Amino acid sequence: MIEGLMIENPYIIENENFCVFATQSLKEMANASFDELNLNKKRILDFFQLKKFRKVSIIQFDNRENFRKFVLSLRGPGAHLPEYAQGVFDKGMSISFIDLKIIKDENVFIEKAKINVHEFIHIVNREKIYKERVVWLDEGLATNLDGKRELLKEKDKFIEFLNNKILSIKVLPEINDLSHKGQGFKQEFYDGYDLVYLSVRYLLETKNKNKLFKILKDNNLAIKVGKTVLKDAINYYKDKLSI
């Protein structure tokens, strides 16, 4: 059992790869998340060129306040957690808040079941790849690999995404300045997750594995790339898709 868990009588499901602790109300979600993690683990490790990884604990709350209290207790005095946060990786664990009201929708349920896949990618990246985190690159990689945006592989859906979520932004932010402090990624005129998704999708399409891993492992190089990567990505896709 995890110390200070704030979940009374948790539902637990585990194997040699993952152990999920969830409130009893999230039993169905815990099972779906567990399946998603096991289904995607090899694909993720293959991407990172790893053969194995340690067992990871997954914690799921159905109460936002308890989720926030637990995460902040792990982070210590003066710690920050943005209001929009629903999934985090702390102390080598994936921790999430699942709103029971919205997962009644089947599509939302499927999306939320992938939250812990997203956090697992962060955990592997932190422990095995980079020495110092560059937020746009880490979030962009997890957003591309977690499977939640599979529909954007369809050309029409991707063009719609570009027009509505990217090209409609009047003033693009500096991508190196994106962080989870304050309102962080969620701003009035843009969603930072859209911007980092596009930026890293561009890198995945245009860089070979060796060049990509040099960027992933070298925070100074990642910051240098970050100075132009968003504009480079936009110009690349505008040209490629004749937008």
16-30 residue pLDDT tens? 999 999 999 999 999
Q: Which residues pair with 11 in a beta bridge?
A: 22
pLDDT band, very low/low/confident/very high, at 104 (cuts 50, 70, 90):
confident
pLDDT at residue 182 is higher than 80: no
**What backbone phi and psi angles, to 5 degrees, belong to 88?**
-145, 165
pLDDT band, very low/low/confident/very high, at 185 (cuts 50, 70, 90):
confident
Q: How far does Cα 5 stand from its chain's mean position? A: 22
Provide the whole-model pTM.
0.95
Longest dimension (CA), the chain: 56
Predicted local distance difference test score (pLDDT) of residue 53: 98
d(CA 120, CA 220): 24
d(CA 88, CA 39): 20
- pLDDT, tens digit, 9 for 90 and up, residues 119-161: 999 999 999 999 999 999 999 999 999 999 999 999 999 999 9
Predicted local distance difference test score (pLDDT) of residue 183: 57
CATH of domain 11-128: 3.40.30
Beta strand 87-90 pairing with 18-22: unpaired
Q: How far does Cα 72 stand from its chain's mean position? A: 19
Which secondary structure element, helix H or strand E, spans residue 12, and what is its range?
strand 11-14
Q: How far does Cα 128 stand from its chain's mean position? A: 17
* CB within 8 Å of 214: residues ≥ 6 apart: 221
d(CA 125, CA 219): 13
Torsion angle in degrees (nearest 10) through CA of 213, 121, 169, 208: 20
Q: Edge to edge, what strands does the sheet with 11-14 contain?
A: 11-14, 18-22, 56-61, 93-97, 87-90
> Domain ranges in the chain?
11-128, 135-241
> What's the mean pLDDT in 24-41?
97
Predicted local distance difference test score (pLDDT) of residue 124: 98
Amino acid identity of 228?
T
d(CA 64, CA 60): 10
pLDDT band, very low/low/confident/very high, at 93 (cuts 50, 70, 90):
very high
pLDDT at residue 216 is higher than 90: yes
> What's the mean pLDDT in 38-45?
98
Whether residue 136 contacts residue 110, with contact meaning beta carbons closer than 8 Å, is answered with no
- pLDDT, tens digit, 9 for 90 and up, residues 66-89: 999 999 999 999 899 998 899 999
pLDDT at residue 1 is higher than 70: no
